[in-house]
Structure 1
Amino acid sequence: MKYIELSVPCTDETRREILMAELSDFPFESFCEEEDRLKAYMPEPEYARCEPEIAQWLRDKGLPCTAEALPDRNWNEVWESNFEPIEVEGRCRIRAPFHPRNPACEYDIEIMPKMSFGTGHHATTYLMAAELLDSDPSGLRGLDMGSGTGVLAILAVLRGAVHMDAVDIDEWAYENGTENIEANGMTGRVQPL
C-alpha cells in the first residue's frame, strides 16, 4: 500500500508532541519525530479523502508542510531495520522479538509495538519504567490506564506486583497488549481490558 508522508517543520520537542496529539484526530497511522520536524503517515486513499480538511487545519494553524507520496514497500521490514531496543537505567531492556537479550539487564521485556504506544522511546514511558525500577510494588495490585503495548504493567509484575490490569480504549492497543502479555509469559498476571 502506498503512503503519504506529511512533514511539518518544528524544532521544539514539546510543540512536536502537541502537533502529534492534534494530528491524531486525523487517520494518520504513525508519526516520526525528528529534531527539526514531525512526520505523519497515512495510506494514500485515506489522505485523498482527508486532504482538504488537513490542509485547512494546517492553514488555520499557520503551519507550513509538505506532503509526499512514498514508494510502496514492506513497512514492517523498514520499521524493524530502524527500531532499536531501549535500556532503562541499565536494568531493563525493552526490545522487539528480533533483538537479542542483554544478559546484563535484570529485566528483559519483549514488545512488538505495531501501532501501540509504549516502547520506551518516548520520555513518559521511559520515566515511568525508571520509577518502577526504583519502587517496590511487591504484593500490590495495580491498574495501567492507557496501557498501549502493556510494557509498564508487565514490568510492574516482573518487579513483584501480584496482578495488573492493563486498560486501553484503542482496539489495536488492546490486541497488541494481549500479544505482548502472552509473549512475556504474563497471562493471568496481567489482564488486558
Structure 2
Amino acid sequence: MSEHLQLTIVIDDDLQEYLIADLFDMDFEGFEQLDNKLIATIPAARFDDMKREELERILISYGQNFLIEKEEILGEQNWNEEWEKTIQPQQIGDFYVHPTWSSSESTEGLTDLIIDPKLAFGTGYHPTTRLILKLLPGFIEEGDKVLDAGTGTGILGIAALKIGASEVLGFDIDEWSRTNATENILLNEVENFEVKLGSVETIPQDEEYDLILANINRNALTEMIPDLLEHLKSNGYLILSGLLKEDEEYIKKLDALADLSLLVTKSEDEWIAMAYRT
C-alpha cells in the first residue's frame, strides 16, 4: 500500500457533503465528518501543487473562513479496509441497512438493505437519506413506478422496490453512482431498476411516475423540479430532501410547487425532507 496524505479541513457541517463531492472528483478516497471539520484522505502521489491550488479555490468559493488546518502523511496500510470498519449496520425506520462485510443479522420485521457504498457516499448515515427512508413506507403502494433523481448508491430506489414498487428509474450525474448503484441492485437481488448517467434529460419523454424522490440540494432542486413535475402522475407524490431547515420557506414559495399539497415536513438535526402530493 502506498503512502496517503490526510488533510483536516475546517468547514461548516452543512457544506461538507458538497465538498466531499468535489474532493471525490479530485481522487480523494476516504472521508470522516466531524463537527465543523472534514478529514479527507488521498494517495500522496496524486496530490500535487495543481490540486492544492484547486482545493484552495474551492474552499474560497465556500467562504473565507474555510481552510486546511492540518496535513499528515500516513504510513502504509489498507485505507479501504480502515474506512470499511466505520460503516456499521443500522436500523432506519422500517429498514435494516448494512454492508456485505458486516456479520450482523437484521432485526425481525425490518426490510433488509445491503448497501456497499463507494467511499463516503450514500451509506444511509446522512440525515437526508434517513429522512426519506423513514417516510418511504407511507408513500409506496404495490406496483408503483418510482423515479429516483440523484440516485447515488441506489439505496432509495432499492428500498422502494423491496416494499412494493414495480419499477424504478434512477439517474445521477456522477459515473461512480451508476457503477455503485448497479452493484447494490445486484446485491439486493431486485429487478426493474434502471440507472442512467445524466440528469432530467435522461427521463423518457412520455413516462409518468407515481412517486418521485429527489435527494439533492436546494439549487439543483430549484432548477429540476419543473422538469420532474412533468413526469409526476395525477395524485402522485414528490419527496424532496438535501434541504436545510432554513430552505423550507424558500421551497414552499416555488411557483412550480404552487398547485401541490404539502403533506409533511420531517426533520433531523438541521436537515429536512418535504413530501408533496399533486
TM-score range, shorter chain: 0.7 to 0.9
Q: CA deviation at 1:66?
A: 1.2
| Matches of 2:7 and 2:151, distance apart in 1 | 27
Aligned length in residues:
190
TM-score (normalizing by structure 1): 0.85
| Matches of 2:92 and 2:192, distance apart in 1 | 22
Worse-superposed segment, 16-25 or 124-133: 16-25
The gaps in structure 1 that reach 5 residues or longer are none
Worse-superposed segment, 118-127 or 136-145: 136-145
CA shift digits 1:75-114 (9 cap, x unpaired): 222122221112112x211100122221324200111112
| Matches of 1:183 and 1:149, distance apart in 2 | 12
The alignment status of 1:66 with 2:67, answered yes or no, reads no
| Matches of 1:105 and 1:72, distance apart in 2 | 43
Q: How does 1:66-105 map to 2 (within 5 A)?
A: 66-89=70-93, 91-99=94-102, 100-105=104-109
The gaps in structure 2 that reach 5 residues or longer are 197-278
The alignment partner of 1:113 has SS state of coil
| Matches of 1:101 and 1:6, distance apart in 2 | 35
Q: How does 1:9-158 map to 2 (within 5 A)?
A: 9-10=10-11, 12-17=12-17, 19-20=19-20, 23=23, 26-49=26-49, 50-55=51-56, 58=59, 61-64=64-67, 65-89=69-93, 91-99=94-102, 100-115=104-119, 117-158=121-162
Work out the percentage of aligned pairs sharing the same amino acid.
32
CA contact (8 A) 2:115 2:184 kept: yes
CA contact (8 A) 1:115 1:173 kept: no
Q: Which residue of 1 aligns with 2:170?
A: 166
CA shift digits 1:103-142 (9 cap, x unpaired): 3242001111123721110011111111112322322111
CA contact (8 A) 1:181 1:190 kept: yes
The alignment status of 1:180 with 2:180, answered yes or no, reads no
CA contact (8 A) 1:142 1:163 kept: yes
| Matches of 1:59 and 1:185, distance apart in 2 | 44
| Matches of 1:78 and 1:133, distance apart in 2 | 34
Superposition RMSD on alpha carbons, in Å? Answer: 2.3
CA contact (8 A) 2:106 2:112 kept: yes
| Matches of 1:76 and 1:21, distance apart in 2 | 18
Answer 1 or 2: which has greater strand percent.
Answer: 2
CA shift digits 1:2-49 (9 cap, x unpaired): 221110234x42244454456556443332111241112222122124
Who wins on radius of gyration, i.e. which is larger?
2
| Matches of 1:21 and 1:182, distance apart in 2 | 25
Amino acid of the structure 2 residue aligned with 1:4: L
